[in-house]
């Protein structure tokens, strides 16, 4: 296929955007020019990516989207794209805007009835029948265009200035201690432990003396973390950074870490892109399991309940739970102690 100008639209979560970068890379290496539309809060993850011509926030193009979907459609049409790719065609107003674009190729993953009615090539993941990593599923958008994948590991590009700045901050706080990042939250798309278990883990790791701990998250989550027991927030061993870091600083922090503890959420995929070590509780349910959402780029240790211990698995659904007490702070800490991290 001749080289085209392609617009890829990805408006959902940070981790999903990061896991779409193998698709972007494959398209660029095949000779296509790629622009990306993302949510404003996730767009900085695309900074310095050499495979992208332009990254634009949907808020800049069509304030009030999805209500103002015709504004997005007009913007796409004026740029004359040869292809519009939507790895997650939600909300349906994306399909309406794409239909106005005039692009010859319009590809929608999970486009459903509205995708077909608006003339899109609609793709299905067949995740339940044939589980595979999400990075690979979204590469189906490239395969439709005759583009072969260039690996599944995601891309993030961190400048030396960003790395050095974070390295200096960590050394000022913790000296030469190893850095353990604990990210207790998630967007609700996977099972997770109660905050109290992460507080217990922070307490135990802080007691070792050889580790500096960084607790990450949003400003809203910080309110809950500030109520943790004092040993979990020991100021000489623990940096409660939730609500303090920009996305670029979070990326640099994970890049400088020795271990990231979190479930299958955005920071895990950042660690995957930066080839960092992770420790993650995971559910064995197909929709949220490590085979689909795991760390592809770095050393990854997964703690998974057995199917017999997981009610969601027995129902063959992605029911969210707190691991029924099968995984707790002691389980996590025993893995860290065994690894010597």
Rg of the chain on CA atoms, in Å: 21
Helix (H) or strand (E) holding 26: helix 21-29
- Digit-by-digit pLDDT tens for the chain (341 residues) are 789 999 999 999 999 999 999 999 999 999 999 999 999 999 999 999 999 999 999 999 999 999 999 999 999 999 999 999 999 999 999 999 999 999 999 999 999 999 999 999 999 999 888 999 999 999 999 999 999 999 999 999 999 999 999 999 999 999 999 999 999 999 877 889 999 999 999 999 999 989 999 999 999 999 999 999 999 999 999 999 999 999 999 999 999 999 999 999 999 999 999 999 999 999 888 888 999 999 999 999 999 988 777 766 654 555 678 888 899 999 999 999 876 55
Rounded Cα–Cα distance for residues 204 and 158 (Å)? 31
| Distance in angstroms (rounded) separating the CA atoms of residues 265 and 262 | 7
Q: What are the DSSP calls for 82-134, one per residue?
A: SEEEESS--STHHHHHHHTS--SEEEEET-HHHHHHTT-EEE---TTTS---H
Same domain? For 127 and 165 the reply is: no
Same-domain pairing of 64 and 166:
no
Q: Would residue 315 count as lying in a domain? A: yes
CATH number of residue 31's parent domain: 3.40.50.2000
Answer yes or no: is 333 within a domain. yes
- Residue 124 CA to residue 263 CA, distance in Å, equals 25
pLDDT given at position 188: 75
CA angle 338, 260, 266 (to 5 degrees): 145
Task: Say if 151 falls within a structural domain.
Answer: no
Q: Give me the pLDDT at residue 306, please.
A: 82
How high is the pLDDT of residue 189? 79
Q: What pTM, to 2 d.p., does this model score?
A: 0.96
Whether residue 171 sits in one domain with residue 312: yes
Last-in-domain residue among 144, 176, 207: 144
How many domains are there within the chain?
2
Question: Within this chain, do residues 251 and 206 fall inside the same structural domain, yes or no?
Answer: yes
pLDDT of 319: 62
Which residues constitute the domain of residue 15?
Answer: 5-144
Indicate whether 152 belongs to any domain.
Answer: no
**pLDDT for the residue numbered 148:** 96
Q: Is residue 153 part of a domain?
A: no
| Domain termination residue (choose one: 79, 114, 144) | 144
- Whole-angstrom Cα distance, residue 172 to residue 175? 6
Answer whether residue 155 is part of any domain: no
Which two structure tokens, joined as six digits, stand for 228? Answer: 């943790």
Q: What is the pLDDT of residue 284?
A: 87
């Amino acid at each position: 296929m001749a080289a085209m100008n392609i617009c890829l639209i990805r408006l959902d979560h940070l981790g999903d955007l990061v896991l779409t970068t193998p698709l972007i890379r494959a398209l660029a290496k095949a000779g296509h020019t790629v622009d990306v539309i993302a949510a404003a809060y996730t767009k900085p993850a695309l900074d310095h990516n050499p495979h992208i011509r332009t990254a634009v926030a949907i808020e800049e193009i069509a304030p009030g989207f999805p209500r103002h979907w015709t504004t997005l459609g007009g913007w796409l049409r004026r740029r004359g794209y040869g292809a519009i790719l939507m790895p997650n065609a939600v909300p349906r107003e994306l399909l309406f805007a794409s239909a106005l674009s005039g692009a010859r190729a319009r590809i929608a993953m999970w486009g459903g009835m509205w995708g077909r009615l608006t003339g899109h090539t609609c793709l299905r993941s067949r995740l339940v029948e044939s589980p595979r990593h999400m990075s690979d599923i979204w590469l189906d958008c490239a395969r439709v265009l005759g583009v072969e994948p260039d690996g599944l590991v995601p891309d993030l590009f961190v400048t030396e200035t960003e790395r050095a700045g974070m390295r200096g901050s960590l050394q000022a706080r913790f000296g030469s201690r190893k850095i353990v990042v604990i990210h207790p939250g998630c967007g609700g798309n996977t099972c997770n432990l109660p905050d109290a278990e992460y507080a217990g883990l922070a307490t135990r790791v802080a007691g070792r003396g050889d580790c500096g701990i960084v607790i990450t998250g949003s400003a809203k989550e910080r309110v809950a973390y500030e109520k943790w027991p004092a040993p979990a927030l020991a100021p000489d061993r623990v940096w409660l950074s939730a609500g303090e870091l920009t996305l670029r600083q979070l990326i640099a922090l994970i890049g400088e870490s020795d271990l990231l503890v979190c479930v299958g959420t955005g920071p895990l995929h950042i660690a995957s892109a930066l080839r960092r070590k992770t420790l993650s509780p995971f559910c064995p349910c197909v929709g949220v399991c490590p085979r689909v959402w795991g760390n592809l780029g770095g050393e990854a240790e997964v703690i998974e309940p057995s199917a017999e211990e997981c009610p969601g698995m027995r129902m063959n659904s992605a029911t969210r739970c707190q691991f029924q007490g099968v995984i707790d702070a002691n389980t996590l800490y025993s893995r860290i102690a065994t690894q010597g991290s």
